[in-house]
């Protein structure tokens, strides 16, 4: 399964990772994300924030395109609450 931790980056130096959240927010779970040309994979291809919502556009199983959403304040809270040093 392809998953990545969510990093918290330094605002002044975004190349510097401050922490990573050990919780995996983004992973294949639905049937159409699990089975396809490449099984068991979701790959984010872009993201944008509108108001307080983070929209993550992604490909699933190399056959579908989808969009996942997260509340940005809740994501930042999770990053700060469950952080681990990088």
Instruction: Tell whether 1 is covered by a domain.
Output: no
Both tokens assigned to 42:
């979701």
Residues 6+ apart with CB under 8 A from 83: 8, 18, 19, 20, 21
> What is the tally of structural domains in the chain?
1
Kindly tell me if the per-residue pLDDT of 2 is higher than 60.
no
Domain, as residue range, for 62: 6-85
Instruction: Tell whether 73 is covered by a domain.
Output: yes
Banded model confidence at residue 86, pLDDT cuts 50, 70, 90: low
Between 76 and 14, whose confidence is greater? 14
Mind listing the pLDDT tens digit for each residue in 46-84?
999 999 999 999 999 889 999 999 899 988 888 888 777
Both tokens assigned to 66:
């989808």
Instruction: Tell whether 17 is covered by a domain.
Output: yes
Instruction: Tell whether 80 is covered by a domain.
Output: yes
Instruction: Tell whether 35 is covered by a domain.
Output: yes
Its pTM stands at 0.78
């Amino acid at each position: 399964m392809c998953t990545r931790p969510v990093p918290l980056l330094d605002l002044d130096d975004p190349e510097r990772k401050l922490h990573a959240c050990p919780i995996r927010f983004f992973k294949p779970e639905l049937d159409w994300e699990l089975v396809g040309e490449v099984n068991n994979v979701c790959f984010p291809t872009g993201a944008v924030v509108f108001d307080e919502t983070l929209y993550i556009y992604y490909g699933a199983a190399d056959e579908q395109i989808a969009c996942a959403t997260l509340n940005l304040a809740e994501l930042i809270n999770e990053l700060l609450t469950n952080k681990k040093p990088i």
